[in-house]
Amino acid sequence: MRRKIAAANWKMHKTPTEARDFFAGFKKEIPNIPQTCDVIFFVPALILGAVAEVAAPFAFGPQNIYHEKEGAFTGENSPVVAEVMGCTYTLVGHSERRQLFKEDDALISRKVAFASESRLTPMLCVGETLKERDAGRTNEVISQQLTRGLSEIQAGRPFMIAYEPVWAIGTGKVATPEQAEEAHAFLRSELARVKGGEVAEKTPILYGGSVKPDNAPSLVAQPNIDGFLVGGASLKPQDFAAIVNTLR
């Protein structure tokens, strides 16, 4: 039985003070790590210090990471520093990184591999655009993102997958449980093909895209949906706590 995962993606939101206030409120609702579910916060790099002071017992990490320890890489996030700050996870290849910052599968693959070697569990994000879905290309697109994104990670290193259809992100348009399950089952079969059945069985595949407390229960009832990557609804302690509570 895979553990469920609730992950927050704060994107470029919250000051250090707002982050501290969030955790004060969230811990009133969820004081400890739930028995059946891990909770992870992906926060802006500039507030990792503030989050590190108050996040325990919950895990946290950056939303993007570079594939070198240090050097002349102006503006990038070092995985070594992230680890020293207490980060245990990182997002890689979020659709906003792919679309706005032109990250491609080759770069994402390097980031996934390097993060995992730095003991940051990468959460690789994949997902099709509406145009790709309408053209019947969903499986082709997400298979390519998955297999290329995982092409350099060493065998045995842990990782997670987040399936986030681009058309559902921040739009209020959530995938139906059937649409999401179809993609998740396909991704799990692709994982089995490229990494073996054991890896496919134990790797969490999260759904993301307009997850809210009211649509979470029907999504997580699907056999291949292991939890959520939540943007907008993770900014309010009560809403995110309500989503965590659907995974208990």
**How long, in residues, is the chain?**
248
The residue (of 99 and 193) whose beta carbon lies closer to ligand PGA is: 99
The residue (of 4 and 78) whose beta carbon lies closer to ligand PGA is: 4
In the complex, the smallest distance separating the C-beta of residue 211 from ligand PGA, rounded to whole angstroms, is 5
Nearest CA to 229 among 240, 217, 214, 245? Answer: 240
The residue (of 59 and 211) whose beta carbon lies closer to ligand PGA is: 211
Question: What's the Cα-to-Cα distance from 84 to each of 16, 78, 122, 185, 233, rounded to whole Å?
Answer: 19, 10, 16, 36, 29
Taken in order 87, 93, 95, 101, the sign of the CA dihedral is positive
**Contact residues for 195 (Cβ-Cβ < 8 A; gap 6+):** 150, 155, 203
Chain centroid to Cα 60, Å, comes to 11
In the complex, the smallest distance separating the C-beta of residue 1 from ligand PGA, rounded to whole angstroms, is 25
94 among known catalytic residues: yes
Of the residues 103, 164, 181, 190, only one is catalytic, namely: 164
The residue (of 78 and 125) whose beta carbon lies closer to ligand PGA is: 125
CB 82 within 8 A of CB 90: yes
Name the residues that contact ligand PGA, by CB under 6 A: 9, 164, 169-170, 208-211, 229-233
Of the residues 94, 132, 184, 190, only one is catalytic, namely: 94
In the complex, the smallest distance separating the C-beta of residue 9 from ligand PGA, rounded to whole angstroms, is 4
Radius of gyration of the chain (CA): 17
In the complex, the smallest distance separating the C-beta of residue 135 from ligand PGA, rounded to whole angstroms, is 22
The residue (of 42 and 66) whose beta carbon lies closer to ligand PGA is: 42
| Token pair belonging to 29 | 């609702």
Give me the residue label for tokens 């089952």.
Answer: 185
Residue nearest ligand PGA, Cβ-based = 231
In the complex, the smallest distance separating the C-beta of residue 58 from ligand PGA, rounded to whole angstroms, is 17
Neighbours of 130 (CB within 10 A): 13
CB 46 within 8 A of CB 19: no
68 among known catalytic residues: no
CB 247 within 8 A of CB 36: yes
- Catalytic residue numbers, as ranges: 94, 164
